Chain A
Amino acid sequence: MNRFDYIRPKNVAEAVAAASEPGSAYLAAGTNLLDLMKGGVSRPERLVDVTHLPGLDRIETLADGAMRIGALVKNSELAYDEAFSARFPAVAEALLSGASAQLRNAATVGGNLLQRTRCAYFYDTASACNKRAPGSGCDAIGGENHGHAVLGWSEHCIATHPSDFCVPLTALGAIVKIEGKDGRRDVPITDFYLLPGDTPDRENVLSPGEMIVGVRLPAEAAGFAANQRYLKVRERTSYAFAVVSAAAALRIEDGTIAEARLALGGVAARPWRAIEAEAALAGAPASRASFEKAAEAAFADARPSGDNAYKIALGKRIVTRALAMAASGTPEVMPALPASPFAPLSEGVIHV
């Protein structure tokens, strides 16, 4: 790990001023940043520690039913918050399917949104990687890439975004709250992440020094509470990143889908909102045929970026099953194995 200066600002304005200096990085729990620094992948000259900032650790329900979550709220605290998980159960399920209990106790909301890709070449400083070293090339292309993207990738980078939390946030239209030198702004999470194009080092819309201060879930998103799930395929039962995942949320009226929300994880450089699939579901009966049609729509533009064509077939099954699980109702208690395909299925949901 390189040497760095450590700065502990007293308020957000001081933090933003300090982090606007070139070479700075924000430090939250450090569960991703310290890992990257130990590997020499990130080499910030100064760390601006946000963990002692006041006022960013609250989970609030606003008058209209929206919820505001401070950037420093721990992943576990949010997942187990009763008011939150009652309104946004798939978000709680996604959080509990990520990492381990220890990591969730440390990891913050802001850090989770800004965690970096798990592409092994990005982690290996001896490899070419356009994200880590712009212009150096991409060793994942033609390399070990069974975990890489099938949507939205470019010939410069085929990495995926690893967060589980961000997938249902994307389905439910969360807003990222940002503060910088020029004040505050709100950005919908669907506009927050950038696709790689020819600048894979630019991962999101934050300008230097801008900080995430929180996330808001709009009131209308709570209208999906009765029918929403997160489903995540891993290479082992627990404590592993998603191979492919899906967050599905439905509003069902008399057996007909009034409105659907769908987002995919593990398939692109950003949590992927499947707008065409949502459109295909609106007004359709809540049936297996509708779910399969939506799954086709979700992956219509998918292309393998290497040895990962299987992700397209797998992704369609995961979408079909997540939609069927959502349609059969949000479980009353959190499953023992959150988001796991190994958890017992509720009645009426068939294996696909």
Chain B
Amino acid sequence: MNLTISLTINGEPRSIDLDDPRVTLLDLLRERLHLTGTKKGCDRGQCGACTILVDGQRINSCLALAVSHDGADIRTIEGLAENGQLHPVQEAFIAHDGFQCGYCTPGQIMSAVGLIAEGHAGDDPERVRELMSGNLCRCGAYRGITEAVLEAEAKLSERDRSAAA
């Protein structure tokens, strides 16, 4: 079976031929489009390493069939920086040591970008921890991760406020 789907990936429209409907978004990104920033941890929805944004919403790409997402707008860790300038969430992860080995980090960062856009955590660390619980970190960098998310949230909402003013 040959299936052609269109996806917008990090702003670029792509037409993709799939020879097999079993391909997940994660395997499509990593194995076929060579966007290896998105990581595979468990491949079963249990770790969050594969988190990407689909139509602005964070999801686990390991449990999403590519063929079912025909027409979707996809953003991965490779698409966050603009003109060589890191995204505020990326900067905050560096400033707060939000990682050690770095394997979970792309998923953590994409999840944090999604969380901030959702707007349900505000400046409450407990809400940040709860809403980041879908991202495991085997190095246990949770403290730095929470601090980074809080700082990025504050920075981005400040930026939104001054843009509105």
Contact = CB atoms under 8 A, between A and B. Distances in A.
Contact of A101 (B24, B63, B68, B115): B115
B54 to A, nearest CB: 8
A241 B115 CA distance: 22
B65 A238 contact: no
B22 A4 contact: yes
Nearest to B69: A51
Contacts of A86: none
Contacts of A76: 57, 118
B133 A27 contact: no
B1 interface: yes
Main secondary structure of the interface of B (DSSP, over half): mixed
B134 A101 contact: yes
Contact of A6 (B51, B67, B118, B120): B67
B48 A100 contact: yes
B45 A31 contact: yes
Most buried by B among A38, A76, A103, A336: A336
A336 B118 CA distance: 15
A74 B43 CA distance: 21
A105 B44 contact: no
A127 B35 CA distance: 38
B63 A35 contact: yes
Interface stretch (B83-91, B124-132, B157-165): B124-132
Given A1-B22, A5-B1, A336-B124, A102 B65 contact: no
B58 interface: yes
Contact of B59 (A47, A80, A106): A106
Contacts of A239: 133-134
A275 interface: no
A30 B134 contact: no
Contact of B63 (A29, A238, A336, A337): A29
A26 to B, nearest CB: 12
Measured as residues with beta carbon below 8 angstroms from the partner, the interface class of chain B is: 35 or more
Contact of A238 (B1, B70, B111, B130): B130
Nearest to B132: A101
B63 A27 contact: no
A102 B111 contact: yes
Interface string A30-56: 110011001000000001010110000
Given A34-B63, A102-B48, A105-B57, A336 B22 contact: no
A351 interface: no
B101 interface: no
B98 interface: no
A38 B40 CA distance: 14
A314 interface: no
A56 to B, nearest CB: 15
B146 interface: no
Interface string B82-116: 00000000000000000000000000000100110
Contacts of A6: 1, 3, 21, 65, 67
Contacts of A338: 130
Contacts of B1: 5-6
Contacts of A105: 57-59, 114
Given A27-B65, A31-B60, A49-B68, A101 B21 contact: no
Given A101-B58, A102-B111, A38 B134 contact: no
8 contacts: A5-B21, A99-B134, A101-B115, A101-B131, A102-B114, A103-B59, A106-B64, A336-B127
The 3 closest A-B pairs by CB, nearest first: A100-B134, A238-B133, A6-B21
Given A29-B64, A74-B57, 16 more contacts: A6-B1, A30-B63, A31-B63, A35-B45, A38-B43, A38-B44, A49-B68, A100-B133, A100-B134, A101-B111, A102-B48, A102-B59, A105-B114, A106-B59, A106-B60, A337-B126
